[in-house]
Structure 1
Amino acid sequence: MSDANTRNRYFDDLCANPELQWMGQNTNHLPAHPAVEAAMIESIQRGEYNAYAPPLGFEALRERIVADIGAPGTEALVTEGGVAALALICAARCTPGSTFVTTDPTWKWPCQFAERHGAEVVKLPIFDARSDWRLSVAALEAAVDERTRVIYLVDPNNPLGVRYERHVLECFVAIARDRGALLIHDCTYRDFADGHTPAVTLDAEHSVVTLSFSKWLGLAGLRIGALVASPALVAEFAAGATSVLGASVVAQRAALAGLEVKREWMARVREVDAANKEMIRACIESLPGLSLPVWPSHGNFVVINLEDPELTPQALVARYLEQNIMIRQGTYHTERFGERFIKVSTSVPSAWVARFCALLPAMLERARGTPPTAPLY
């Protein structure tokens, strides 16, 4: 069986398990807002799914996305998930001999997109308390040269949950501008952060923001995301789009409804998310050999360091899967630092987090000194 088929069977088994607690993909599993659910039902009842959507997205949704970002004069391009927006940008900008500069850890898929187009991926380590778990302006400036076509910044960072201050982003944008590079500001988790600044509000000519409706609105399975940039950049990316028949009509109706009730919805989501993080924090502080390197996390997840040399993230993930709980091993995000941590999602029902915490002492004991029993993805 090919690696692709093995991976697909792995996730197919997860999806086929109605008891599974999804606590590894940062997806939102809280019950949908009534307005969002009603918008999807109405769209289906009207048979809107029988027709293709506009290739750049419904105009009402495009306008609402720009307004939500707070970047007048820019445009939005609606995509089939945030990952499709990233693939589109990488296809347009990554070329053989160029460099794609990012952090380590980061989100793995854009790195693979860049490599497919011949770019060299340069990963700058940030898994270090001495750097406050962040990329410094000096480190980025030293790594970016005339070969650099793309700087990729996940902010808040997935998996660490750190975010960058406005003055730091201004420096990052200036580096991109001075070197003739493009800053991709992956803002997937911006709605869980305090004081977040989208880079396109600083310079829309040398930066592009990518967005997802999977995390804050819970639409992961509907595949809906977007990029926001200057009209010239949107035209450049649209010229290379493969999704020429538009993103899901039902998903776009849900996204638009979600944006209309976003303030109310996110107040509730963040309340639950914060309480879940505190529950995990109390649990971790009560157990030896575990720690939270980043607090508070500005994403809907936390990283937990494993300080016992006999305990591997993979073994702990495997033991939790036996209990119908999916969490993520650090090696999903980084080969260099992945053996040090696990990641746990927190935009989930509080009962899930309570169960995760209650099981943790037993899971640590079972995982200690044992190898994982099957491949993990």
Structure 2
Amino acid sequence: MSIEDRNRYFDTLFATPGLLWLGQNTNHIPPHPAVVAAMKQSIDAQEFTAYAPPLGFEALRAAIVADMGVAGLRALVTEGGVSALSMICRARCRPGTNMVTTDPTWKWPCLFAEQAGAQVRQIPIYNPAHDYKLTPDQLAATVDENTALIYLVDPNNPLGVTYTRAELEAFVAIAHSVGALFVHDCTYRDFAASHTPVVSISTRDTVVTSSFSKWLGLAGMRIGALVAEAPLMAEFAAHSPGVLGASVIAQRAAQAGLAIKAGWMETVRAINLANQAHVHAAVAAIPGLHLPIYPSNGNFLVVETPDAGGAPEALVECYRQEGIMIRQGTYHSATFGHRFIKISTSVPEDWITRFCDLLPIMVARAREMGTVSTGQF
């Protein structure tokens, strides 16, 4: 399927009245009034007519570092978390090097590394024997002296597993042993029961990337960040395509969000966990469906489908016909994607109720439909 076909697919989704977005891990819980007010104030002041500072507003940069909880680091504000990962890969990956990550993982850094000429090595973690997690032994057996960077999404997208401080300490020691940069993608950390950013363990050759798309619900505003020691931040900034700064309006929203984050995320996490419990009950009632990880430390759940008789792509299409967007597993993994669909849970309760009410009907319909292709990418 061409990029034009894919674009038309998503354009159609976006134009669908009342579409329930349950497939992109985006946050659709009504936003905090302070965040909306900050955007409106910025628009009213016509701040959008000027470029932002290239690294981001100083007050926002300081707030991002403070939120990470490690003093002395530097933040670079980016056009979404994906831009941060792109510049990191461009800075470190080149022909003759390799990037090590997991399978499943988030697919785009793999593409960025390959575009820079690096080999991508994915370690399979879709395995209950290892609790669906990367192990230090697996990592040590995969890296070598040509490993430019190790990329870990934590909590993992799509599995929702997270790593302990001890596990991360072992990973960092392995990275240091081969001179690799350790990239800790912490996009979903605010949904986790507990989380340790790698920069709190070591700031040498480590970088954290984050996003305001998920926890704060600013996906369409395109605002993210990377946090590292000053020399590393400057190295990555030299490869930034956003040399004229990220969106002024988005930065004002992000700064307002960080100011109310503690109370806001308490509410969001409660809604997220309640929605996960609702999905868990609905899945348990249908023979053949299974949640391999529950609860998830992200704002999503993986639902295994093969034993129910319906292909993930068929379920995606069945729900799309009902005005609900979910995602098939092949978006995340060519090897394991045939096993599952993924459901976003940081959404209004009635969205999840609608999904769950339709689930037995959609599974039956998917069995009859067989295998289909979708435009999701």
Report TM bin, short chain.
over 0.9
Q: CA deviation at 1:203?
A: 1.2
Secondary structure of 1:124's aligned partner: strand
Which of structure 1's runs of 4+ aligned residues deviate more than 6 A? none
1:3 is displaced (CA, Å) by 1.1
Following superposition, the deviation at residue 84 of structure 1 comes to 0.3
User: 2 CA distance for matches of 1:374 and 1:149?
Assistant: 35
Equivalent position amino acid for 2:191 in 1: F
1:371 offset after TM fit, Å? 3.3
Structure 2 residue aligned with 1:266? 265
- Aligned identity (percent) is 59
Using the alignment, how far apart are the partners of 1:265 and 1:310 within structure 2? 40
Paired AA for residue 340 in structure 1: R
Taking the aligned partners of 1:358 and 1:39, their CA distance within structure 2 comes to 37
Check whether the contact 2:87–2:240 (CA below 8 A) recurs between aligned residues: yes
2:335 counterpart letter in structure 1: R
Give the C-alpha shift of residue 71 in structure 1.
1.2
Structure 2 match to 1:96: 95
Aligned to 1:182: 181
Residue 284 of structure 2 aligns to which amino acid in structure 1? Answer: E
Cα distance per residue 1:253-299 (max 9 Å; x no partner): 00000000001110111111011000001111111001110112000
Where do 1:198-347 residues align within 5 Å? 198-308=197-307, 310-347=309-346
* Alpha carbons of structure 1 residues 10 and 156: separation in structure 2 relative to 1, 3 Å: same
Q: 8 Å contact 2:308–2:363 — kept in the other structure?
A: no
Which letter maps to 2:96?
A: G
Q: In 1, distance between residues paired with 2:56 and 2:223?
A: 10
1:68-87 CA-to-partner distances (Å, cap 9, x unmatched) read: 00111110000000000000
For 2:40, the aligned partner's letter is I
Following the alignment from structure 2 to structure 1, what is the Cα–Cα distance between the partners of residues 131 and 178? 26
Q: Is 1:195 paired with 2:200?
A: no
2:289–2:308 CA contact under 8 A, matched in 1 = no
Contact 2:273 2:295 in 1 (8 A): no
d(CA) in 1 for partners of 2:261 and 2:308? 44
Inter-partner Cα distance in structure 1 for 2:188 and 2:300: 10
Contact kept in structure 2, 1:55 and 1:245, CA below 8 Å: yes
What TM-score, normalized by structure 2, do the two folds share? 0.98
Q: Give unpaired runs (5+ residues) of structure 1.
A: none
Match of 2:13 in 1: 14
Q: Once the 2 structures are TM-superposed, how far is the Cα of residue 147 of structure 1 from its aligned partner?
A: 0.8
Classify the secondary structure of the residue corresponding to 2:307: coil
Do the aligned partners of 2:331 and 2:337 also contact (CA within 8 Å) in 1?
yes
CA displacement, residues 165-184 of structure 1 (integer Å, 9 cap, x when unaligned) = 00100111111111100011
Asked if the contact 1:57/1:78 (under 8 Å) is kept, the reply is yes
Equivalent residues of 1:318, 1:372 under 8 A apart? no
Partner secondary structure for residue 220 of structure 2 = helix
Normalising by structure 1, we get a TM-score of 0.98
Shift of 1:375: 2.7
Structure 2, gaps ≥5 residues long = none
Question: In structure 2, how many angstroms separate the alpha carbons of the residues matched to 1:310 and 1:171?
Answer: 40
Whole-angstrom distance in 2 between the partners of 1:302 and 1:39: 32
Q: Equivalent residue for 2:4?
A: 5
Compute the displacement of 1:247 (Å).
0.1
Tell me the distance in 2 between the aligned counterparts of 1:307 and 1:335: 15
2:104 maps to what in 1? 105
| Separation in 1, partners of 2:295, 2:350 | 21
Cα separation, 2, equivalents of 1:212 and 1:285: 33
Q: Shift of the alpha carbon at 1:374? A: 4.6
How far off its partner does 1:310 sit? 3.3
SS of the aligned residue for 1:368 comes to: helix
Cα separation, 2, equivalents of 1:348 and 1:266: 13
Aligned counterparts of 2:174 and 2:332: Cα–Cα separation in 1 = 25
State the shift of 1:100 in Å. 0.6
Decide which moves more: 306-315 or 145-154: 306-315
CA distance in structure 2 between the aligned counterparts of 1:292 and 1:239, rounded to whole angstroms: 43
CA RMSD, 1 decimal:
1.0
Aligned to 1:376: 375
1:258 is matched by which residue type in structure 2?
A: G
| SS state at 1:375 partner | coil
1:119 paired to 2:118: yes
